[in-house]
Amino acid sequence: MVTLQINGQSHTIDAPDDMPLLWALRDIVGLTGTKFGCGIAQCGACTVHLDGKAVRSCLLPVGSIGNRAITTIEAVGETPNGAKIQKAWLDIEVVQCGYCQSGQIMSATALLNRTPNPDDSDIDAAMAGNICRCGTYVRIRQAIKNAAKTA
């Protein structure tokens, strides 16, 4: 049994220590907003926050997390930067198929958490780990800049 702090709630789940957080979230806790894309931390679809920082949940064993606060796409809108990013995404219609966008939004929110006014190279560095097959990158970049300008 492993106890995880997810979106402000404590969850004790029947999972082996080596189980990646991704599958604990999706198949046990039932939070399916975090997506499976590659399983080897190459695409970023599975990005969640650990204490506000972006991590790839597909390679993060649940036994290694301890009491750190996990935030997923389902609750990131309750944080100020998460809400700003979500709004910026919708304002300029970033999303196409949407499958990667949970991860994109988690990475973008983590970027604003540590760099409130990111420039292009900050955006490249923070977002290059998130693949979008629909090719929404032009709008992702713009939406992050728009969100950063919002008070």
Partner 1 sequence: MSISAKDAADLSRRNFLKVGTAAGGGLMLGFQVGDAFAQEKKGAAEAAAPAPAKYVLNPNAFIAIAPDGKISFQIPQEEMGQGVYTSLSQLLADELDVDLANVTPLPAPPIDAIYGSPRSHRMSTGGSTSIRGFYTALRQVGASGRAMLVQAAAQQWKVDPATLRTESGQVIDDAHGGRKLSYGVLAPAAAKLPAPQDVKLKDDKDLKLIGKSVKRLDTPDKVNGKAQYGIDVRMDGLKIAALAASPVVGGKAVRVDDSKLKAMPGLQLVVLDDIVAVVGPHFWAAKKGLDSLDITWDGGENATMDSAKMWQELRATSLKPGVVAKEDGDAPKNLSRAQDNRIDVAYELPFLSHAPMEPQNFTVHVKNGGCEMWGGSQVQTSAVAAAAKTLNTTPDKIVFHNYMLGGGFGRRLDTDMVVKSVRIAQKVDGPVKVIWTREEDIQQDMYRPAYRNVMSANLDKNGKIDAWTHRIAGGAVSVRMSGKPLKGGLDRGSLEGATENNYGAPNFRVEFIEAPPKALNIGYWRGVAPNNNVFATESLMDELALKVKKDPVAFRLAHLDGTPRLKAAVQLVAQRANWGSALPKRAGRGICAQFAFGTYIATVCEAEVDEGGHVRIRQVHSVIDAGRIVNPDTLMAQVQGGLMFGFTAALYGDITVKDGRVQQRNFNNYRIMRINEAPPIDVHIVASHEPSGGIGEPGCTAGPPSLVNAVAAATGIRLRKLPIDRDILAGRKIA
* 3-state SS track over 64-102: HCCCCEEECHHHHCCCHHHHHHHHHHHHCCCCCCCCCHH
Answer for which of 3, 8, 17, 42 binds partner 1 (CB under 8 A) is 42
Residue 128 binding partner 1, by CB under 8 A: yes
Residue 90 binding partner 1, by CB under 8 A: yes
Other CB atoms within a 10 A radius of the CB of residue 63 amount to 13
d(CA 85, CA 115): 13
The radius of gyration computed from the CA coordinates of the chain, to the nearest angstrom, equals 15
- Tell me how far, at minimum, the Cβ of 127 lies from partner 1, in Å: 5
Residue 141 binding partner 1, by CB under 8 A: yes
Answer for which of 57, 71, 81, 130 binds partner 1 (CB under 8 A) is 130
Burial class (CB in 10 A: 0-12, 13-18, 19+), 68: middle
Q: Which amino acid is at 51?
A: D
Q: Is the dihedral of CA 26, 29, 32, 33 positive or negative?
A: negative
Residue 30 binding partner 1, by CB under 8 A: yes
Specify the stretch interacting with partner 1 by CB under 8 A; choose among 23-31, 49-57, 63-71, 111-119: 23-31
Residue 37 binding partner 1, by CB under 8 A: yes
Residue 133 binding partner 1, by CB under 8 A: yes
Residue 20 binding partner 1, by CB under 8 A: yes
Answer for which of 68, 79, 122, 131 binds partner 1 (CB under 8 A) is 131
